[in-house]
Amino acid sequence: MASTTNSVVSHDHHELPPLCEKIPIKNNPNKAINLTTLLLLFSILLYRLLHLSEHGYPWLLAFLCESWFTFDFFLILNTKWTPVDFKTHPQTLLQRMGTELPAVDAFVTTADVAMEPPIMTANTVLSLLAVDYPAHKLACYVSDDGCSPLTLFSLIHAFEFARIWVPFCKKYGIQVRAPFRYFSIDIDDSVSPPDSDDSRERDSGGNFDQFQLEWKNMKEEYEKLKQKIEKAVNGAVPFECSGEYADFAYADKNDHSSIIKVIWENKENHPDSLPHLVYVSREKRPTTPHHYKAGAMNVLTRVSGVMTNAPFMLNVDCDMFVNNPNIILHAMCSFLGLNPQDCAFVQFPQVFYNELKDDPFGNQMVVGFEIVGRGMAGIQGPLYAGTGCFHRRKVIYNFCLDNADNKVNEDETFGNSKELMESVAKTFTEPVDGKNIDTIITSQDLSTMVQAAHQVARCDYEDGTTWGSKVGWKYGSMTEDLLTGMQIHAMGLKSVSCMPNPPGFLGIVPTSGPISMSQVKRWITGLLQILFSKNSPIFATLHAKLQFRQCLTYIWILIWGLRSIPTLCYAILPAYCIITNSSYLPKAHEPAMVLFLAQFVIENIENLSYFRRCGQSFRAWWNNLRMTKINAATSMLFGVVGFPLKLLGVSEIVFEVTQKESDESSTSSTKGTENFKGNDAANAGRFTFDESPMFVPPTTLLFVEVAALGLSLWEGGRDEVGLGEYLASVWVVMCFWPFVRGLFGKGKYGISLSTLLKSSCFSFIFIQLCRQASVHGW
């Protein structure tokens, strides 16, 4: 396939490389393998149909499961059929636009100081303040949904440190600008981006001793900052809600007025100063829905609208710091280098710095981003992942980029704030390149706009408006990010996947089984909320402008949780057949067995090839494969079962903040076990258990499989059971090996007694039902 390039090239700069190149990825061998796999799946279904009358219920159940697997494979095949990559050229952008770079408002969200340590948020903010971008073109807003004075305290003191940290980073060309991460690197490796010819301090006279001295002083200052924040968090120093913190004196996390503090304002609009820094804690009342993260993002959009009103917005979670100082330049290349009339947002993949070796919990998603991310990029663009994403304010306001059919004078759309409506009017008329738009929307200082910001941060401001439905981040799902991105694609707009080297952002991934599974369970609930609602991608294709192939990709993502049911049924089939002396696979000597064996081998070899291509090990492939089975029996299953219970009002939908490791406990490069100390180092990546009912189904499944194998050896006489059923049962036991270890583990590494008792009862009941089925010939 010939490589094509989409770019906007100025006649005055025709000798420069394009801002952004769209490069199709050749994958003809993979296409041939995928078509072979699809043909084998259809052949298996045809074989099942032709022999359905000759077999019992296990055959029928296997046919239904395999039909789902075939449908699922067809959907993902559509996604990865035309992968593309993008290459950006920031230096070209600087040469073309010079000082006319568009302004950017950066949003950082945090919700709970106990789950998301303030030092983590401070590091993320410091990395944003230090990016290579004109300071008067950047503003940073921090949303504190936990309404904690500790967050404000950490930001105020972090900014004081930023006064010396930012100049240090820019003077020496520091690559990693989150100080906790930077100071974990050896001093000899801590300067210069990887692609630079040499470090700046060596270029400027070779005075490396001066650099070492400043490095040590800077590290000492950061240690002081860290200790100051830790003492406040741990209560070692009395913390009084007075003065700057008086607004927190009578504030409750879920019942308080809005609190907005301008920590720093670049009043001179100097490009070499520091960007604006604003703290925002929106108003919350127990009787008013606050819509979780989506609500916080909409408040930030309005507050920034009346204060700075930048045409582009970046949102990051508090645990995801900037890893590439040119990140904004890369994003602007993506916006302005392709067709500016249809590029709505630029998504950077999630990459993690605390990843464990070989991905033991299958949650690092390296191959997932490779397949789905690049695949969607070749259709209508990648999905919005909720963090590490740049948006056009114009699109978030539901405006067409060509200004067709846009309306701005309706209070029922944006609310009754005069200041916000003025900023919306400016957004309406701005050019798609964001040039010539002032960073400040009025000649007044930011501090004079705080009152207007308080108005748009009220909990009742959205009453009678279309915020959350047509304007802003969308409500109606726990996965507001995917819903918002899909609605943008439904406008007929596209998104771009930006993968610079080094990665734009680095974040934290859960490093224990229960936390990872809780996260997946929340995702499943949110995805099903979208699938079974008016926001379904099917309606977006029929009644809006969502492309058909993009619709199929979204469907594949939304039905992720539903895969747990056929996966579990298929996993229990070998044990059922062994217990009941029946079969669901052809005998080993039958020619049809070749179909099943070939499909199994080819699919797994292809998946392994993806992992190897992404630099992952064989062990990482195996860990991801087994976690697919484990998640199907735990978090995915509970997410699916819990969804209808929530619809019926039996269970309540609750947004659970994922536990984050403190940055200071994750400073090492964790391609091994460097993060862990003592006994934990030997058990890094080992599955942990608690009293959660999610561990009952997989433990029950394991008991049933082992019991079936044991009964076949003890009783014998199973002439209908073939080699395939025995091998499949052993395969299931291997996939659930962490639970086998959990049977003999101690403490958090052992399955709890209550889980063992419940699983024993359920497995005994299942085996007895199987025996009854065998007696009645079911």
Residues known to be catalytic: 145, 481
Contact assessment for residue 310 and residue 104, using Cβ atoms and an 8 Å cutoff: yes
- DSSP assignment string, 640-705: HHHHHHHHTTSS---PPPPP---GGGS-S--SSSTT--THHHHTTT-----S-GGGHHHHHHHHHH
The C-alpha atoms of residue 69 and residue 632 are separated, in whole angstroms, by 14
Q: CA 196, 198, 199: angle at the middle one, nearest 5? A: 100
Specify the DSSP element, H or E, that contains 97. Answer: helix 90-97
Please tell me the distance from the alpha carbon of residue 51 to that of residue 43, in angstroms, as a whole number.
Answer: 12
The position carrying tokens 């669901």 is: 584
Asked if 139 and 250 count as a contact pair (C-beta separation under 8 A), the reply is no
Write out the two tokens for 704.
């049933």
Q: How far apart are CA 172 and CA 192, in angstroms?
A: 7
Q: Which of 573, 685, 566, 578 is nearest to 633 (CA)?
A: 566
Amino acid, res. 459: C
Radius of gyration of the chain (CA): 28
**What is the separation, in whole angstroms, between the first and last Cα of the chain?**
54
Burial class (CB in 10 A: 0-12, 13-18, 19+), 735: buried
Residues 238 and 232: their CA atoms lie apart, in Å, by 7
- Amino acid at site 121: T
Neighbours of 378 (CB within 10 A): 20
3-state secondary structure 228-277: HHHHHHHCCCCCCCCHHHHHHCCCECCEECCEEEEEECCCCCCCCCCCEE
Burial of 271 (0-12, 13-18, 19+ CB in 10 A): middle
d(CA 252, CA 248): 8
Looking up tokens 């080819």 gives: 602
The amino acid that residue 498 corresponds to is C
Residue 440 to residue 267: CA distance in whole angstroms:
10
The Cα-based distances of 756 to 17, 706, 736, 744, 748 in angstroms read: 63, 14, 15, 11, 14
User: Do 287 and 375 meet the contact criterion of CB atoms below 8 Å apart?
Assistant: no
What is the residue type of 614? C
| Residues paired with 141 in a beta bridge | 107, 278
DSSP label at residue 282? -
3 state SS for 473-509 = CCCCCCCHHHHHHHHHHCCCCEEEECCCCCCCEEECC
